[in-house]
């Protein structure tokens, strides 16, 4: 991935986000606001319930229910621990040299979605079935369900390698990333406590 704010934004939510970023950076350049944009990949962690690695993975694993996934689950994908992202956004807001720029905040090294989910399953000590929804099914369901339509619009992020390049951030500010082997158990503990599982 690059810092090009329009890249990959074909329709719907992605297009809106790209346009918002363009307007924010333009307003910054024109002296109307002081702005910085921090970006990350798909979130996981405490309080993260609606992302690709939210309830449908952590809660499902804890309950031993089926885990439903999208795309090619064997290609590398970056997942961002929400606590790291929050800390890095605060830091970006406090650093004048960050202003007027788009920053991809650091995340743990990419692994496949299958590997990520397997780590969750190992920690929960359950045996859920892992299912992958066919792309055609997602697109057809999107004709009738607005939520599925949104998922269809960002499905490209899960169909091939999706690796966040945070080298710009790391060069400027360093990198302090929670390893997946620490973040995933923390997330499991949060979901377990929330649902008394």
Q: Does 94 reside within a domain?
A: yes
Separation of alpha carbons 148 and 77, rounded Å = 21
pTM of the model: 0.86
What's the domain count of the chain?
1
What are the tens digits of pLDDT across the range 168-179? 999 999 999 999
Q: Does 34 reside within a domain?
A: yes
Beta strands in the chain (DSSP E): 37-39, 42-44, 67-70, 76-77, 79-81, 102-104, 111-112, 130-133
Q: Does 6 reside within a domain?
A: no
Q: Does 2 reside within a domain?
A: no
Q: Does 16 reside within a domain?
A: yes
What pLDDT is stored for residue 9 in this prediction? 46
Which tokens go with 85? Answer: 């992202």
Q: Does 104 reside within a domain?
A: yes
What are the tens digits of pLDDT across the range 57-86? 999 999 999 999 988 999 999 999 999 999
Give the chain's residues under pLDDT 50.
Answer: 1-10
CATH number for position 190:
3.40.50.720
Q: Does 7 reside within a domain?
A: no
Q: Does 85 reside within a domain?
A: yes
What pLDDT is stored for residue 137 in this prediction? 67
Separation of alpha carbons 101 and 39, rounded Å = 11
What pLDDT is stored for residue 128 in this prediction? 95
What pLDDT is stored for residue 17 in this prediction? 84
Which tokens go with 124? Answer: 């929960």
Which tokens go with 146? Answer: 């607005």
What pLDDT is stored for residue 78 in this prediction? 97
Q: Give the residue numbers spanning the domain of 127.
A: 12-195
What pLDDT is stored for residue 2 in this prediction? 36
């Amino acid at each position: 991935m690059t810092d090009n704010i329009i890249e990959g934004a074909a329709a719907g939510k992605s297009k809106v986000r790209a346009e918002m970023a363009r307007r924010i950076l333009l307003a910054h350049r024109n002296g109307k606001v002081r702005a910085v944009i921090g970006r990350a990949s798909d979130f996981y962690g405490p309080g993260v319930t609606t992302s690709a690695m939210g309830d449908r993975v952590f809660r499902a694993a804890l309950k031993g229910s089926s885990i439903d996934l999208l795309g090619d689950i064997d290609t590398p994908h970056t997942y961002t621990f929400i606590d790291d992202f929050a800390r890095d956004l605060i830091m970006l807001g406090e650093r004048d040299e960050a202003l007027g720029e788009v920053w991809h905040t650091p995340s743990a090294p990419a692994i496949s979605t299958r590997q990520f989910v397997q780590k969750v399953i190992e920690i929960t000590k359950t045996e859920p079935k892992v299912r992958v929804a066919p792309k055609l099914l997602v697109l057809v369901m999107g004709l009738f369900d607005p939520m599925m339509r949104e998922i269809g619009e960002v499905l490209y992020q899960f169909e091939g390698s999706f690796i966040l390049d945070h080298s710009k951030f790391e060069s400027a500010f360093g990198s302090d990333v929670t390893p997946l082997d620490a973040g995933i158990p923390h997330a499991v503990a949060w979901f377990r406590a929330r649902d008394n599982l």
